[in-house]
Amino acid sequence: MNYPVWYLPLIGGPLIIAFVAIIHVVVSHFAVGGGLWLVLTEKKGYRENKDYIVDYVKKHAKFFLLLTMVFSALTGVGIWFTIALIHPDATSHLIHTFVFGWAIEWVLFVIEIVAAFLYFYNFGKISKKLHLLIGWIYFIAAWGSLLVINAILAFMLTPGKWIATQNFWDGILNPSYLSSTAFRTFLCFALAGSYGLMTATRKFKGEQKDELVKYNGKWIFWSLAGLIPSAFWYYSTFPKQAMEGLAGSSAIMVSSLWHLIISLGLFILFLILLYLWKTKRFGFKSSIAMFLTIFVFFGAFEFIREAGRKPYIIKDYMYSTGIRVADFDRIKDQSILQNSKWTEIKEITPDNAVKAGGEIFRIQCYACHSLGIKNNINKKMVDWDLKKIRRIIGSLKGITPFMTEFAGNEVEKDALAKWFYWEIHGELPQEEVEQGGALDGPALFESFCSDCHENSPDDPLFLNTSDVIEIDGMMDILSRLNELNEDMPPFEGSEEEKKALAEYIIKSRSKK
């Protein structure tokens, strides 16, 4: 809206964010869980007087040092760069609201780094007590930064009272804050345990391996004992629309949910195997596979969280396109081009319509769609004629509640439709060519209704018209579609087509 868009249409913003974010969240959660793992395991080593355990911890510490220092810090800056490039309006808003939250996180991060260095370089060089204390400080600082940053992530999904008060603490202590914090914390522990398992199976043999595999198994067991209930708790604090998405209204969310469930199931299965096999046969390969399942679980979860927020970037406050909810209706009535700073064309003429359409795509659709790998809409539109493209643009919200209506005027909808058509076919259609003749019921249904309705008896299209048995009655309904539901486009076919479709609907219903 306000900002230029970093425009790489073949890749698309969401994919870039997903790529950087997934690396960052896994690594940073890992660093938190690893903090606790290090101190507790070190303590175990001292308590039981086992040098090989202390040694094992030391090796881990080196890895964590490398990991938190580099990956966590750099990808953390990276994710920040990325969202600022792809959602500058929202990032600016978040920064201005939570700047001191981030500033506190930064202090914690400085502590984390210093503590990590001291911890690693002073194994055996200072008293055990002080060394453990440094370990604890590392863990607490790392977990503290999770407390801060997760507040902001949770805020984006459930801003709660903040919408009305705009108060910092209302934003931080939002409805899903505690539940998501619990969930993420246990996830951190599960990750740390799974990593410990990998190194234990790789580095040790015989009894020592047995012991450490069991030890890490116990870690994972207790993490899961916290993770599963907190997942349900977290779910209960989801916004309603996200719950509906998971229940079936969003194909992407449902498929992510399956990934989530299956990967968790496999993870648990591995844990059971670990005990059944009495750890003997549980080797490095099994532990890698186990680690991968928790990784997939994590990815699926983040996907659900991101998808559940759509069409908002900050729920109920700002859309993914950077348009504030409060401005939406005004822009829709006026013009998207005139209300966006970074468009070349402000006034559409027949000559510049296609180009203007491209600009509209960039500011209205590119936030979620690309022309390439991910969520490519051109592919879906290949068989559509201009009229159909135009009709769908007029009723985006009807396709899925995860899109808003088009935020612009009628001329702009035309321009966008033309641009899509031109992108796909390289030319505009010859005007006034009527494709007559096709009075075929299924084809009409396919062309006019199937984007939002399924051809099955439990779809509202059939359910809610079950009392209409006359063709005339059905034709009347077809004439009033946009009155029945504001997200539905009016029927645009000819009278004959209307009749044919009405007949088809009644006939196919009675068959079913």
Partner 1 sequence: MNNLINIIPNPDALPVAAGWFQFLLQFTYYLHLISVGIMFTIAVSMTVGYFKGTSDENWLTFGKDMGHLLPFTIAFAINLGVAPLLFIQVLYGNFFYTASTLIGTHWILLVVILILGYYAAYWIAFRVSGKHRTKKYLALFTSFILAWTAFILVNVNTLMLKPSLWKGYFSHMGGLHLNTGDPTMIPRYTFYLFLLLAIGGLFIAVYSKIKYGKEKSKPWIAFGSSLSGYSCFLTLPSFIYYMRILPHNIREVFLTGDATWTIVSVFCFFGLIITGYLALQRRIIPASAIMSITLIIFVIMRGKVRSLFLAPFSEKFSTVGTNTQYGVMILFLVTLVAGLALIFWLLWKTHKERKS
Using CB under 6 A as the criterion, which residues of the chain lie in contact with ligand HEC when the complex forms? 250-252, 310-311, 320-321, 364-365, 367-369, 377, 380, 392-393, 395-396, 398-400, 402-403, 406, 448-449, 451-453, 460-461, 464-465, 477-478, 481, 484-485, 487-489, 491
In angstroms, rounded to a whole number, what is the distance separating the alpha carbons of residues 424 and 70? 43
User: For the stretch 185-214, what's the b/e string if a residue is b when 16 or more beta carbons lie within 10 angstroms of its beta carbon?
Assistant: bbbbbbbbbbbbbbbbbeebeeeebbbbbb
- The first and second tokens of residue 253, run together, are 């969310």
16 binds partner 1 (CB under 8 A): yes
118 binds partner 1 (CB under 8 A): yes
DSSP-assigned states of every residue in 388-407: HHHHHHTTHHHH-TTS----
254 binds partner 1 (CB under 8 A): no
Non-local (6+) Cβ contacts of 32 within 8 A are 139, 142, 143, 146, 185, 188
Q: Which of 51, 59, 166, 251 binds partner 1 (CB under 8 A)?
A: 166
Q: How many residues bind partner 1 (CB under 8 A)?
A: 62
328 binds partner 1 (CB under 8 A): no
Q: Which of 52, 99, 456, 486 binds partner 1 (CB under 8 A)?
A: 99
Residue 246, classed as helix, strand or coil, is helix
Query: Measured from the CB atom, is 151 or 307 closer to ligand HEC?
Result: 307
In angstroms, rounded to a whole number, what is the distance separating the alpha carbons of residues 347 and 353? 9
Residue 312, classed as helix, strand or coil, is strand
- What residues form DSSP beta bridges with 324? 318
Residue 295 interacting partner from partner 1, ligand HEC, none (CB closer than 5 to 8 Å by kind): none
137 binds partner 1 (CB under 8 A): yes
In angstroms, rounded to a whole number, what is the distance separating the alpha carbons of residues 142 and 182? 15
364 binds partner 1 (CB under 8 A): no
- The first and second tokens of residue 440, run together, are 């075929």
93 binds partner 1 (CB under 8 A): yes
In angstroms, rounded to a whole number, what is the distance separating the alpha carbons of residues 390 and 36? 56
In angstroms, rounded to a whole number, what is the distance separating the alpha carbons of residues 217 and 200? 11
Residue 3 interacting partner from partner 1, ligand HEC, none (CB closer than 5 to 8 Å by kind): partner 1
Residue found by looking up tokens 């994919």 in the block: 15
102 binds partner 1 (CB under 8 A): yes
Residue 477 interacting partner from ligand HEC, partner 1, none (CB closer than 5 to 8 Å by kind): ligand HEC
In angstroms, rounded to a whole number, what is the distance separating the alpha carbons of residues 58 and 41? 10
Q: Which of 14, 33, 101, 160 binds partner 1 (CB under 8 A)?
A: 101
For residue 37, how many C-alpha atoms fall within 13 Å in the half-sphere facing its CB? Answer: 37
Residue 166 interacting partner from ligand HEC, partner 1, none (CB closer than 5 to 8 Å by kind): partner 1
CA dihedral 144, 93, 331, 384 (to 10 degrees): -50
Residue 77 interacting partner from ligand HEC, partner 1, none (CB closer than 5 to 8 Å by kind): partner 1
Residue 233 interacting partner from partner 1, ligand HEC, none (CB closer than 5 to 8 Å by kind): none
117 binds partner 1 (CB under 8 A): yes
User: For the stretch 218-257, what's the b/e string if a residue is b when 16 or more beta carbons lie within 10 angstroms of its beta carbon?
Assistant: ebbeebbebbeebbeebeebbbebbeebbeeebebbeebb
- The first and second tokens of residue 7, run together, are 């425009």
Residue 509 interacting partner from ligand HEC, partner 1, none (CB closer than 5 to 8 Å by kind): none
Region near partner 1 per CB under 8 A, out of 4-12, 202-210, 292-300, 461-469: 4-12
Distance of closest approach, residue 233 Cβ to partner 1, in angstroms: 27
Give the Cα-Cα-Cα angle 391, 397, 398 (nearest 5 degrees): 70
Distance of closest approach, residue 496 Cβ to ligand HEC, in angstroms: 14
Non-local (6+) Cβ contacts of 388 within 8 A are 447
Residue 20 interacting partner from partner 1, ligand HEC, none (CB closer than 5 to 8 Å by kind): partner 1
Residue 117 interacting partner from partner 1, ligand HEC, none (CB closer than 5 to 8 Å by kind): partner 1
Distance of closest approach, residue 94 Cβ to ligand HEC, in angstroms: 17
Would you call 3 exposed, middle or buried from its count of C-beta atoms within 10 A (0-12, 13-18, 19+)? middle
Residue 311 interacting partner from partner 1, ligand HEC, none (CB closer than 5 to 8 Å by kind): ligand HEC
Distance of closest approach, residue 510 Cβ to partner 1, in angstroms: 54
- What residues form DSSP beta bridges with 370? 376
In angstroms, rounded to a whole number, what is the distance separating the alpha carbons of residues 247 and 251? 10
Query: Measured from the CB atom, is 26 or 389 closer to ligand HEC?
Result: 389
Q: Which of 20, 54, 220, 246 binds partner 1 (CB under 8 A)?
A: 20
Q: Which of 18, 22, 84, 252 binds partner 1 (CB under 8 A)?
A: 84
468 binds partner 1 (CB under 8 A): no
Q: Which of 26, 36, 108, 149 binds partner 1 (CB under 8 A)?
A: 108
Q: Max Cα separation, the chain?
A: 90
* Torsion angles phi and psi, residue 374, rounded to 5: -110, 135
Distance of closest approach, residue 25 Cβ to ligand HEC, in angstroms: 21
- The first and second tokens of residue 295, run together, are 């990784």
Please report, for the chain, how many H helices and E strands are present, in that order: 24, 2
Residue 134 interacting partner from partner 1, ligand HEC, none (CB closer than 5 to 8 Å by kind): partner 1
Region near partner 1 per CB under 8 A, out of 31-39, 67-75, 425-433, 478-486: 67-75
By CB under 8 A, name the binding residues for partner 1.
2-8, 16, 20, 66, 69-71, 73-75, 77-78, 80-82, 84-85, 88-89, 91-93, 95-97, 99-104, 106-111, 113-115, 117-118, 122, 125-127, 130, 134, 137, 166-168, 341-342, 344, 362
